[in-house]
Structure 1
Amino acid sequence: MTNEHHHEPQNIILFPGVVKRLVEEGMDELKQKNGQKALQLFSQAETYEPTSAQARFGVVLSLIELNRQEEAVEKTKALLNEGIGDYYETLQVHVSLLVQLSRYEEVVHLLETVLSENRLPSEHAETFYELLHFSRQMSSSQAYDASLLDEEHKKETELELRAGLHATNEPAKWKALQTVKQLNVKALLKDVRELAADENAKALMRTYALVLLHDWNDRLPIVIKKEERSMEVQPAELPIPGERDIDKAIRQALEEQLEQEDPVLLQMARQLHHTYLLITYPFLPDPPNPKAWACAFHLVAAEQLGLETDEEDMVDCYGCKRFDVLCASNEIEALEKDILLEAQDQNQWFHT
Structure 2
Amino acid sequence: MNEEEQKVIVFPGTVQRLIENGLNDLKGGQFEKSLHTFQEVIQFEPDHQEAIYGKWVSLLKLERHNDVIQDAYEGLPRLGHLYRDGLMIVATALVEQSRWQELADLINDAADGNHIQLNDDLEFRALLEEANSHKEAPAIEMEEETRPVPTDLTRSLRFGSAEEQWSAFQQLKTYPLVVVIDTFDDVLQDKDRSPVVKSLILLHLKDEEMETPVFVTKNEKETTIVPKTLPALENYAGDAQTEIFSALAPIESDNPHLYETCRHVWDWMAVILYPFEYERVSSMDWAAASILKHLDM
Q: TM-score range by the shorter chain?
A: 0.3 to 0.5
Q: Which structure has the greater CA radius of gyration?
A: 1
TM-score (norm. length: structure 2): 0.45
